[in-house]
């Protein structure tokens, strides 16, 4: 299967104490023992954080990637030097909007570990999305590789998840693309989401059961990504708009409206009402929209979003985030 993705806004590791919204740091000595301490003196602030993020929030994500990273290095005979470190995090990704906020924190932490232990050249770029996904699976988070690939590579990435590659390599073939090929895109999301589709999806089980409709639909989704890559390379943005709409239509047929959620569907249809193309950014919670008619259409979309109570902002795609060491590693594979 193939997919085309640009990254969501990223979580960033911080060199000093974390921002107030996440007043926890993790200190580890050779990954153990582990202590948690509060960097905020405000009890009410801490209570507010617990109400919004639970008792662990992003801290459990940091703990999970530390475990996964340690085990991977141990299994692959990668020696880690002794020494203490502190991990802290802050994120600007809106919660519960399908923008992969959890994996962004994990990916940022993994980069910190790679640099602290100076093993970036020993952990292949292609396997890092698998490590991020494994950390989330440790916590029972159901996800796939697409967003993790986008966050590891940065920029714009074409992904081929053909069974052949997954079986032989354990990962897909990931091809960075020039971000200047992208037309102007906008992100639409609900600032206070209340309906993200609460009905359990049966699509995964149907796939495992070899449901012909699900398999054929997934193959069509993969083909949409392949066609999307060609449309971008040829700068055929009218074709791209049609493919975006087709992608969502396929998802709607496979999952059903109860699973997708009324609020998510409303965001897509709102964009379509002004002639914009739109699709989910991931599994739901936010929508990426493209206005092929330019600024005047963007203004119509902004007005429609304001009236409906949705947030909208232009998407700024960051350049690829691979280091020189990473690029050398890629070129040697």
Torsion angle defined by CA atoms of residues 204, 209, 210 and 211, in that order, rounded to the nearest 10 degrees: -70
CB 6, CB 314: distance < 8 Å: no
**Residue 288 DSSP code:** E
Q: At 230, give phi and psi (nearest 5°).
A: -65, -40
Q: How far apart are CA 296 and CA 25, in angstroms?
A: 46
Distance from the Cα of residue 227 to its chain's centroid: 22
Ramachandran category for residue 278: left, alpha or beta (phi over 0 → left; psi -120 to 50 → alpha): beta
What is the arrangement of strands in the sheet containing 311-314, beginning at the earlier edge strand?
277-280, 286-290, 185-189, 311-314
Task: Using only the alpha carbons of the chain, give its radius of gyration.
Answer: 20
CA distances from 234 to 89, 97, 183, 230 (A): 40, 31, 12, 6
Q: Which candidate, 229, 283, 274, places its Cα nearest to that of 251?
A: 283
Residues with Cβ within 8 Å of 103's Cβ and at least 6 positions away in sequence, in order, are 132, 133, 136, 143, 147, 148, 151
Q: Which of 20, 75, 115, 147 is catalytic?
A: 147
The burial of 267, by beta-carbon neighbours within 10 Å (0-12 exposed, 13-18 middle, 19 or more buried), is given as buried
DSSP of 177-193: E-GGGSPPEEEEE-SS-
Residue 147 annotated as catalytic: yes
User: Catalytic site residues?
Assistant: 147
């Amino acid at each position: 299967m193939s997919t085309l993705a640009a990254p969501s806004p990223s979580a960033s590791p911080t060199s000093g104490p974390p921002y107030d919204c996440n007043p926890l740091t993790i200190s580890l000595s050779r990954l153990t023992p582990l202590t948690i301490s509060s960097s905020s003196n405000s009890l009410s602030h801490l209570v507010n954080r617990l109400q919004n993020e639970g008792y662990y929030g992003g801290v459990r994500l940091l703990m999970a990637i530390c475990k996964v990273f340690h085990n991977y290095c141990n299994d692959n005979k990668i020696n880690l030097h002794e020494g203490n470190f502190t991990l802290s995090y802050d994120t600007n990704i809106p919660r519960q909007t399908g923008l992969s906020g959890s994996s962004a924190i994990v990916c940022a932490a993994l980069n910190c570990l790679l640099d602290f232990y100076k093993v970036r050249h020993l952990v292949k770029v292609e396997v890092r999305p698998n490590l991020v996904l494994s950390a989330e699976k440790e916590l029972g988070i159901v996800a796939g590789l697409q967003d993790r690939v986008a966050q590891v590579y940065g920029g714009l990435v074409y992904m081929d998840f053909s069974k052949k590659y997954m079986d032989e390599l354990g990962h897909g073939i990931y091809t960075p693309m020039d971000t200047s090929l992208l037309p102007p895109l906008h992100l639409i999301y609900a600032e206070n989401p209340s309906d993200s589709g609460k009905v359990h999806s049966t699509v995964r089980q149907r796939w495992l059961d070899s449901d012909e409709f699900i398999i054929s639909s997934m193959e069509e989704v993969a083909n949409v990504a392949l066609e999307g890559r060609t449309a971008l390379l040829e700068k055929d943005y009218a074709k791209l708009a049609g493919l975006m709409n087709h992608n969502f239509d396929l998802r709607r047929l496979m999952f059903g409206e109860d699973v997708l959620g009324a609020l998510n569907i409303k965001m897509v249809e709102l964009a379509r009402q002004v002639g914009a193309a739109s699709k989910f950014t991931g599994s739901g919670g936010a929508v990426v929209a493209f206005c092929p008619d330019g600024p005047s259409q963007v203004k119509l979309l902004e007005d429609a979003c304001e009236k409906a109570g949705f947030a909208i902002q232009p998407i700024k795609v960051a350049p690829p985030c691979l280091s020189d060491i990473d690029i050398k590693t890629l070129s040697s594979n």
